[in-house]
Structure 1
Amino acid sequence: MMKWTRLLLLMLPLTVSACGNETHGDLEAFIKNSGKGLRGQVTPIPEVQPYTHYPYSAFEMPNPFKPRKSKHIKGEGSGLQPNLDRHKEVLEKFPLESLKMVGSLERNENFYALIKAPDSSLHRVKVGGYLGQNFGLIANISESEVNLKEIVQDSIGDWAERISILMLED
C-alpha cells in the first residue's frame, strides 16, 4: 500500500507540469478573428403618432360603485317601529337560526319553551318574551313550535312584520 502512495505522489507533479508548457496560440487567434465583420443591425424607431384627446361623456351616468338613491322617501311605510328603548333579553343577542327549541313545559295552563343557545345554555321562555336579533316577539308556544313576530327592515328602510317559526329539534 505504501508503495502505491509513493508512486502516486511522484506522478502527480509530473502530470501537472505537462499541462503548463503548452501554448494556446490557435485558440487565441480564433478569439481575435471571431468578432471581425460582425455588425449589429438596429431597426429605426417608429414614428410616434400624436395623441388625440377623446372626450369622456359618462359623467352624467350613474356611478356603479355608489348606492343608488331610492325614489321612495325613507320611513314612509306602515309606521311600524321596534321598541328600541326596552331592555334586551339574553336570547336577543343570538341569530334566530342558531337557537334551538329542545322541549316544552306546561305549568298552570301556561306553556313554556326550552331554548338552547349556541353557548349551550338552556333558557325557559314564555309568550311575550323576545328571541333573535330581529326583535322577535313570542306570539304562541305549543308542544312542537314557537311562533314569533319579527320586525325587520326592508331595503328602503321601512319596518315590516315577519312571522317565523322555531320548530322542536329531534
Structure 2
Amino acid sequence: MKRLALSLVGAAAILAGCGANTDELTQWMDEQKREVKPSVEPIVAPKKFVPQPYASISGIEPFSSQKIGSGTRIDGGQTNAMLAAQLRRRKEPLEAYPLDAMKMVGTVTRQGSPHALIEVDKLLHYVKAGEYIGQNYGQITKIGETELSLRELVQDAAGEWIERTTTLQLQEKAR
C-alpha cells in the first residue's frame, strides 16, 4: 500500500510540474516569430517550348524498311554459297560475343601487319585482318589506328541476307 501511495504522490508531482507557468516560453516564441523572416526565392518561369519542323522530309523515313536494310543486297545463288561457306567453317572464339560487348583498346604492329587489341570480358585478344568477330559472321577487312572495319552478313527486315560494313571504334579508358 505504501508503494502505491508513493507512486501516486510521485505521479501527481510530475503532473503538477507540467502545468507550471508557460508565460515565459510563450513570450520567447512570439519574439522568435517576429524576428525571423523567411526568405524564399521565387520559382523561375519555365522556358517556352518552340517546336522545330522536321528538316529531312525528303529523305528516307526513319522507320521504313529501306532504312533498316541499308546494306548491299546479294543475289540468291551467291547468298546461299556465302552462307554455306560460313556455316561449314569452324567458329573463332570472338564470334561467341556480340560487337557491343567488345571494346577496341589499341593497335599493335606485329611482323609488319597491324593487329587490333580487343577487350572482351576483361580479357585482351589480338585480331588481324581476315579473322572473324561478332555474331553476324563479321570478317575484319581493315585495321586502322582508331578503328577496325568489318563486313557482316545479316538478314534485313524482309528476311533476305545482305552484306553490311560495320566499324569498331577505339575507346579510351575512363580515368
TM-score (ref. length: structure 1) = 0.53
Equivalent in 134, 140, 146 of residue 144 of structure 1: 146
Q: Spell out, residue by residue over 1:125-144, the C-alpha distance to the aligned partner (whole angstroms, 9 max, x if none).
A: 00000110000000000111
Rounded to whole Å, the distance in 2 between the matches of 1:76 and 1:148 is: 21
RMSD (Å), alpha carbons: 2.0
Q: What corresponds to 1:91 in structure 2? A: 94
Rounded to whole Å, the distance in 2 between the matches of 1:168 and 1:76 is: 34
1:124 aligns with 2:144: no
Rounded to whole Å, the distance in 1 between the matches of 2:149 and 2:106 is: 14
Rounded to whole Å, the distance in 1 between the matches of 2:134 and 2:125 is: 13
One-letter code aligned to 1:102: V
Rounded to whole Å, the distance in 2 between the matches of 1:135 and 1:141 is: 17
One-letter code aligned to 1:108: Q
1:5-20 aligned within 5 A: none
Rounded to whole Å, the distance in 1 between the matches of 2:107 and 2:154 is: 27
One-letter code aligned to 1:130: Y
Rounded to whole Å, the distance in 1 between the matches of 2:142 and 2:87 is: 22
Unaligned runs of 5+ in 1: 3-74
Partner of 2:136, secondary structure, is: coil
Equivalent in 112, 117, 124 of residue 114 of structure 1: 117
TM-score (ref. length: structure 2) = 0.51
Structure showing greater Rg:
1
Distance 1:167 1:155, change over 3 A: same
Rounded to whole Å, the distance in 2 between the matches of 1:110 and 1:129 is: 13
Count of residue pairs brought into register by the alignment: 97
Unaligned runs of 5+ in 2: 3-73
Q: What corresponds to 1:156 in structure 2? A: 158
Q: Aligned-pair distance for 1:77?
A: 4.1
Equivalent pairs: percent with the same residue?
Answer: 45
Q: Aligned-pair distance for 1:107?
A: 2.2
